[in-house]
Amino acid sequence: MDRISKVFRAGHKALIIYLTAGYPSIGLDEELAITAIDAGADILELGFPFSDPIADGPLIQDASHKALDNGMTLAGVIDLAARIRAKRDVPIILMGYANPVHHMGYDTFSEKLALAGGDGAIIPDLPMETAAPLRVEMRKNGLALIPMAAPNTPPERLNSIIKSGDGFLYLVSMAGLTGDALDGTASWKGVASNAKEIGSLPVCVGFGIRTGEDAAEAAKSADGVIVGSAITQVINEAGSPAEAKASVRELVEELAEGVKQASK
């Protein structure tokens, strides 16, 4: 967890980039991850594919299915994290659904992720009430089980989520799916403000951030922004691996500049 806490040093707002492991192909996913980090990503999220990604919109759903077709597994994502760790020192967080983690075993998952140099995980369909067994194993291995909240999370529940979580709070910007448009007037800003008053976890907002302008606007009210669908879209639209890397680099640089502007 030390790498995560170092990112949120005084006055610094983080850019968190999500990539689906195994998409668009095994091997190119690693190159795209390195490209994103070098272009300004402060934290890397590696999505491990699942057949029923219920929190994701069409773009990431499709990427997840293609990654499965390419043979990507949870064990393969952990191996990918290890290869990236050997090259770069930014925090690496796995994001995906509870079924594959439960199947691997909470203890095995946590131990393997720690040995790979990972820093934590986000499991959207594992609510606070049932997360304790995994959280215990993660903490044993120095890893963060990162909590999630939404604009309609009641204050009492938000308090419990923050106090039980590690790393940072993943605040969903809307009652929707990844890829939906960001609403700058949405109630997530009030939740972000409340979260900062409740505890010391940095608050990072995701869902709907597509441009540098979006990132700058979101970062005004949060400690970091999370971008996944927009990155997935430029990869999907690329005609070649070289074009995919160039497009990812360009978008991440734009997003990083937006976050930087909000940090001033």
Residues known to be catalytic: 45, 56
CA-based nearest residue to 128, from 155, 99, 165: 165
DSSP strand E in 12-162: where? 14-20, 43-47, 92-95, 120-122, 144-145, 148-149
Please report which helix (H) or strand (E) contains residue 198, including its range: helix 188-198
- Count Cβ neighbours within 10 Å for each residue of 100-120 and write b for 16 or more, e otherwise: bbeebebeebbebbbebbbbb
The DSSP output letter for 48 is P
CA-based nearest residue to 113, from 133, 71, 85: 85
